Structure 1
Amino acid sequence: MKRILFLILVFGVLLSSCGQADKYHPSKSLTTEEQQALIYTTIRYLGHLPKRGTHENKFDPAFDEFYTKLALDYTLEAYYKKDGFEYFLASRIAPSLKVKKVAVGVKMKRSPDGQLVYYEEVFRTWKFEIPEMLEKGLMLFDKMAKGEDLSPYFPQNSGEVEYIEFPDEKVYFDVEEKRWKINDVL
């Protein structure tokens, strides 16, 4: 009996995450070209800096080719639009002995002409094998899109279970500068 209850619970969780994946699947709202454009629009914030690149010069045309190639490393896992804001979950392969991915949950707003006017990386996950990244990433994305509190999933609050790597007690996302920073107050 316990085994049956356990299987029902596991099946329920899988159905729930499949529902979230289907509900937020990018192809329900965006064409393939629009998905690629979304990643490219944000890649200079989402991605790492090129060699000799700084936060001050990362928009120089000399880095266009680097960022065009870097955008290809990202997969749009989820997308949702509400109240003028766009929310998305993007993932990329992370360095590891096994194939693992890290995901970033983003909240942004664009002007009518497509210019980025607000950008916030709400969370970045630990690196996980792909099924675990999708399960945890989509659960966090669902909560983010609904405006729910993610602090129970921060490292200092989640106990032994890993969900969100950043933000944490020391690292936060500076919305004005559109990048992760270390809290100097601590």
Structure 2
Amino acid sequence: MRVLIALFMLILLGACTSSNKSYSPEAQLSEREQKEILYTTVRYLGHLPKKGTHENKFNADFDEYYSKLALDFTLEAYHKKNGYEYFLVSRIAPSFKVKKVATGVKMKRDANGEVTYYEEVFRTWKFEVPEMLEKGLMLFDKMVQEQDLSPYYNANSGEEEFIEFPDGKIQYDTVQRRWIVKEPSEVLTQK
């Protein structure tokens, strides 16, 4: 029986490893293309600079700030499907131990490289790097396959943490291209 369990675990590990390799950014994008994705999206992913607002964050005055901020992000996974680009990025999160949060993004760009659609599908809790990669890549695969991520939302995942946002109060607004707090009346009517 133990041999069967061990064999099953090896097959499962091999399947996970091979699927993760297919999402390797290095296998699909040049280093320049990887940096371009981070720089193109850092104004959505990153914190606002001092005196920055969502209305002025694209001003040239903030180019240097965002160029430096993009270096804080790591492109962990990438996949292109049906005209969309899917990617998983991580960044170090404040903690006593080294921990990272990961964000799963679905994006579309036009022929000039301008972003025409952008959605942060999920943001994980902060985890130590091995756990962030394991959970982040699993969620990323489900996102690419367009599977329901709601079982991994905080309200549904039991004792184990996966996705911090969206949750019952915070959701991603694809028009404003940022996380927003739902109005209290919206939260009450959805329960």
Distance in 1, Cα, partners of 2:82 & 2:150 = 23
Tell whether 2:120 aligns with 1:126: no
State the 1:15 CA deviation: 2.9
Per-residue deviation, residues 132-166 of structure 1 (Å, max 9, x unmatched):
10110000000000111101000011011110000
Per-residue deviation, residues 106-139 of structure 1 (Å, max 9, x unmatched):
0000001100000000000000111110110000
Counterpart in the other structure of 1:146 = 145
Distance in 2, Cα, partners of 1:170 & 1:143 = 23
State the 1:8 CA deviation: 4.7
* Unaligned ranges ≥5, structure 1: none
Identity between Structure 1 and Structure 2 (%): 60
State the 1:5 CA deviation: 5.8
Counterpart in the other structure of 2:21 = 22
Provide the TM-score with structure 1 as the length reference. 0.94
Counterpart in the other structure of 1:81 = 80
The 1:163–1:5 alpha-carbon spacing in structure 2 relative to 1, beyond 3 Å, is farther
Provide the TM-score with structure 2 as the length reference. 0.92
Distance in 2, Cα, partners of 1:15 & 1:63 = 44
Per-residue deviation, residues 22-81 of structure 1 (Å, max 9, x unmatched):
010001210011000001000000111011111011011110000000000000000000
Amino acid at match of 1:165: E
State the 1:168 CA deviation: 0.4
State the 1:12 CA deviation: 4.5
Counterpart in the other structure of 1:156 = 155
State the 1:17 CA deviation: 3.2
What is the 5 A alignment of 1:160-175?
160-175=159-174
State the 1:19 CA deviation: 2.0
- Contact preservation (8 Å) 1:40, 1:67: yes
Distance in 1, Cα, partners of 2:30 & 2:172 = 29
State the 1:181 CA deviation: 0.4
Counterpart in the other structure of 1:136 = 135
* Unaligned ranges ≥5, structure 2: none
Distance in 1, Cα, partners of 2:78 & 2:129 = 18
Amino acid at match of 2:37: L
Ranked by relative contact order (alpha carbons within 8 Å, sequence separation 6 or more), the top structure is 1
Tell whether 2:78 aligns with 1:56: no
- Contact preservation (8 Å) 1:20, 1:139: no
3-state secondary structure, aligned to 1:70: helix
Amino acid at match of 2:151: P
